[in-house]
Amino acid sequence: MSDFWIYFQIGLKHVLDIHAYDHVMFLMALTIPYAFKDWKRILLLVTIFTVGHTLALLLSVYGIVTIKVNIIEFLIPITILITAFFNFFTAGKSSKTESINVVFFITLFFGIIHGLGFSNYFKTILGGSPSSKLLPLGEFALGIEAAQIIVVFVVLILSYIVQTIFRFSKRDWTLTMSAFIIGVVIPMVVESEIWNR
């Protein structure tokens, strides 16, 4: 049981690490257009991310997929930007059902990219034979899912407070937070090592 908590906590800390805020930025961009009443859709999106992340780790750990780290480090902020810009075009619309497939795709894509970005570290943690990697991977994925639900819950509470107490409209809240996320993420794109090639 102690092994479960080791890998679960690694997954938890992986998302909640203050120095790896790209993960939190993506979850914020994903969550801000929604409210508590949309919890099923949000849970589905978070789970899709975890599936993508776990699939990428699985493929990488077993040596099926390898990709250069600088390309991954560049693609991570790009997916956050896409999500935040997407919010600009959909902010204030009464229904998001038409565009949900695009959000699902972006979420799955980000999960795959982020999983590949973490794969080298995860391989170092695991060591051992390939047969010993499947269970820790599942435990790690559960930690990621739990951490993401925490982040989403905090964003939803903040969203509720801002819209209820401070009387921000849903549209203004979405636009303001998306602009903030874009402002944080653009330097990540500009400072990417991919430009040094």
Q: What percent of the chain lies above the pLDDT cut of 70?
A: 92
**In the predicted model, is pLDDT for residue 113 greater than 80?**
yes
Q: Which residue has the higher pLDDT, 111 or 101?
A: 111
- For the beta carbon of residue 170, count every other beta carbon within 10 angstroms: 17
Domain extents in the chain? 3-195
**In the predicted model, is pLDDT for residue 185 greater than 90?**
yes
Q: Determine phi and psi for 128, rounding to 5 degrees.
A: 65, -170
Average pLDDT, the chain: 87
pLDDT of residue 128: 61
Please count the residues of the chain.
Answer: 197
What is the reported pTM? 0.89
pLDDT of residue 75: 92
Burial of 19 (0-12, 13-18, 19+ CB in 10 A): exposed
**In the predicted model, is pLDDT for residue 98 greater than 70?**
no
**In the predicted model, is pLDDT for residue 1 greater than 80?**
no
**In the predicted model, is pLDDT for residue 140 greater than 80?**
yes
pLDDT tens for 25-58 read 999 999 999 999 999 999 999 999 999 999 998 8
